[in-house]
Structure 1
Amino acid sequence: MFALRRAAVAAAPIAVRSSVRPFSVLGARLSGAVSAESIEKNLGPGGAPGTVPTDLEQATGLERQELLAKLEGKELFDMEPLNMTHLGTVKNPIVVQSHDPIRFVGCTGYPAESHDAIWINLDKSHEHDRCPECGSVYKMDFVGSEDDHHH
């Protein structure tokens, strides 16, 4: 299949060949969504010629931020399970922090393990989200930055 596509591209006129390039190659560079300053901050120096780079030398983006935080003795992301001290209600929801505008939360009911895990899609644009099984209400506390583009 790929051989047929390559042959079709090679036989196409030059103007058609240039339109075959995926749009993803130029998106971030030309959109202005990524500034030169943020790129330099989130890029590692890379490995020296002839050596294999370490994780810190080659990490970029969120992975680099996480590694730098660990070097300082901190955790960038909260990896602890949610503290289910109550059944979430509209007036007293279970608050979930997120760096992303959308986050998946697995609800097992209250008390814990009272029903099978149901995955709920929390969205920062929603006032709250509810588990369809037990009715527990979840609310997102967006702690990320609107300027970060983590997609």
Structure 2
Amino acid sequence: RTPSSATMAGRAVLRTALTALPALRPASRATLRPVAAAAPRFMSGRVPNPDPVWKQDSNLDNVIPSDMDQATGIERAEMLAEMEGKQLFEEGMVGPFGTDANPVMVESIYEERIVGCPGDCDKGNTSVNNEMRWFLVTSAQPYKCASCGQVFAIKKIKGAEYNF
């Protein structure tokens, strides 16, 4: 026999009441606390941001920071060196054509460095070729460019002390 619609509706009401019963417990059993002790709540549900560790001057609120303000790491070290009139890294072509007996010495504070070669160095027409060949030179052994035959080796130098 199938239950009537009234029986099914009664069961649904009973099930809803049993589910909501914990929320309907008497106020005497609930813990009450004064309103002043309650944690502040905001409409957005977010906690307000704490004060920053450092603050800018009030007249600098809408100023875009400079490159020096944002630079970190090696980029900052390069900028500090340029401000002192020094060049942290030798970026131009250095010296004559490197051979097995007299390789081009690439200065590095690390055990390896990425070096670029235009590839036509032996013919002297490097301005014609715009395609650089990039390779990794390690301190373990010199590297010979497959295109022009120039040899590169690492010259380990002590890193400058910069506060960055």
TM-score using structure 1 length: 0.51
Describe the shift of the 1:98–1:105 C-alpha distance in structure 2 as closer, same or farther (beyond 3 A). Answer: farther
Match of 1:134, SS state, is: coil
Within the alignment, does 1:72 sit opposite 2:108 as a pair?
no
The amino acid that maps onto 2:106 is V
Within the alignment, does 1:121 sit opposite 2:138 as a pair?
no
Q: Of the two, which has the highest radius of gyration?
A: 2
Of 55, 73, 89, the residue aligned with 1:61 is 73
RMSD of the alignment, in Å? 3.0
CA distance in 2: counterparts of 1:63 and 1:94, whole angstroms = 25
The amino acid that maps onto 1:53 is P
Of 102, 105, 111, the residue aligned with 2:116 is 105
Could you tell me how far 1:126 is from its partner in structure 2?
Answer: 3.4
Superposed CA deviations along residues 9-29 of structure 1, whole A, max 9, x for unmatched, are xxxxxxxxxxxxxxxxxxxxx
CA distance in 1: counterparts of 2:74 and 2:107, whole angstroms = 17
**Runs (5+) with no aligned partner, structure 1:** 1-44, 146-151
Match of 1:105, SS state, is: strand
**Runs (5+) with no aligned partner, structure 2:** 1-53, 160-164
The amino acid that maps onto 1:134 is C
Match of 1:65, SS state, is: helix
Q: Tell me: higher relative CO, structure 1 or 2? Use CA pairs within 8 A at least 6 residues apart.
A: 2
Structure with a larger share of its residues in helix: 1
Superposed CA deviations along residues 22-69 of structure 1, whole A, max 9, x for unmatched, are xxxxxxxxxxxxxxxxxxxxxxx8965623212112211111111111
CA distance in 2: counterparts of 1:95 and 1:46, whole angstroms = 47
